[in-house]
Amino acid sequence: MAKVDKSLPLEYQTEQSRLNILGFWIFLGAEVVLFATLFAAYGSLKDNFAGGPTPAELFKLKDVMIETLLLLTSSFTCGIAIWYMRRQNLKGLLTWLIITLALGAGFVFVEVNEFIHYVHEGATMQTSAFLSSFFVLLGTHGLHVSIGIGWAILIIIQLMKHGLTPTTARKTFIISLYWHFLDVVWIFIFTFVYLARMGG
Partner 1 sequence: MHIKWEDIVITGDPLILSAQIGITLTMLAIVVGVTYFKKWQYLWDEWITTVDHKKIGIMYIIVAVLMFFRGGVDGLMMKYQTSAPEMDFLDAQHYNEVFTTHGVIMILFMAMPALIGLMNVVIPLQIGARDVAFPQLNALSFWLTFSGAMLFNISFVIGGSPDAGWTSYFPLAGKEFTPGVGNNFYAIALQIAGIGTLMTGINFVVTILKMRAKGMTLMKMPMFTWTSLITNVIIVFAFPILTVALALMTFDRLFGTHFFTISGGGNAMLWNNLFWLWGHPEVYIVILPAFGMFSEVIATFSRKRLYGYNSMIISIVGIAILSMVVWVHHFYTMGSGPVVNSVFSITTMLIAVPTGVKIFNWLFTMRKGRIQFTTAMLWSLAFIPTFTIGGVTGVMLAMAAADYQYHNTLFLVAHFHYVLIPGVVYAVFAGFYYWWPKMFGYALNERLGKWHFWLFNIGFNVTFMPMFFLGLQGAVRRSYTFSAESGFAPLFMLSAIGSLILAAGFAVLVYNIYYSTRYADRKISTDPWDARTLEWHTASPVQPYNFAITPEVKALDAFWYMKKNKEGLVLKEEELEEIHMPSNSWLPFYMCAIFGVVGFLLVFELFIPAAICSLGIFVGLIIRSFDYDEGYHIKLDVIKKTERAWRGEK
Partner 2 sequence: MKKGILVSLLAIVPLFILSGCESMVVFDPQGPVARSITDLINWSIVLMAFVCLVVFGLFGYIVWKYRATKDNADYEPEEHGSTKLEIVWTVIPFLIIIALTIPTVKTIYALEDIPEDYKDQDPIVINVTSADWKWIFSYPEEGIETVNYVNIPAGVPVEFKLTSAGTMQSFWIPALAGQKYTMYGAETDLYVVADNPGSYEGQNTSFNGKGYAEMKFEVEAKTLADYDEWVDEVKETAPELTEEKYKEIIKPTHLGRMTFSNTHLEWIDHGKGGDSNYYLNPELYRVHGYPGKTFEKNEESNGGEEDAH
Residue closest to 193 by CA, chosen among 55, 70, 49, 71:
55
Q: Tell me the residue length of the chain.
A: 200
Assess contact for 92 and 84: CB atoms under 8 A.
yes
Q: Which residues bind partner 1 (CB under 8 A)?
A: 1-2, 18-20, 22-23, 26-27, 29-31, 33-34, 37-38, 40-41, 44-45, 48-50, 125-130, 132-133, 135-136, 150-151, 154-155, 158, 162, 167, 171
Q: x/- contact string, 10-49, with partner 2 (CB under 8 A)?
A: -------------------------------------xxx
Residue 95 or 124: the one with the smaller Cβ distance to partner 2 is: 124
> 122 is in the binding site of which of partner 1, partner 2, none (Cβ under 5 to 8 A by kind)?
partner 2
Spatial contact of 48 and 130, defined as CB atoms under 8 Å apart: yes
94 vs 160: CA distance, rounded Å: 8
Burial class (CB in 10 A: 0-12, 13-18, 19+), 151: middle
CA distance 177 to 155: 14
Q: Are 155 and 171 in contact (CB under 8 A)?
A: yes
**42 contact choice in partner 1, partner 2, none (CB below 5 to 8 Å, kind-dependent):** none
Per-residue contact flags (x/-) with partner 2 for residues 48 to 77, judged by CB under 8 A: xxxxx-------------------------
Cβ closest to partner 2, residue 100 vs residue 127: 127
CA–CA gap between residue 12 and residue 80 (Å, rounded): 19
Q: If binding is defined by CB under 8 A, does position 127 make contact with partner 2?
A: yes
Q: How far is the CB of 35 from partner 2 (least distance, A)?
A: 24
Q: Which of partner 1, partner 2, none does 30 bind, CB closer than 5 to 8 A by kind?
A: partner 1
How far is 105 from 149, CA to CA, in rounded Å?
A: 7
Query: What are the residues binding partner 2 (CB under 8 A)?
Result: 47-52, 122, 126-129
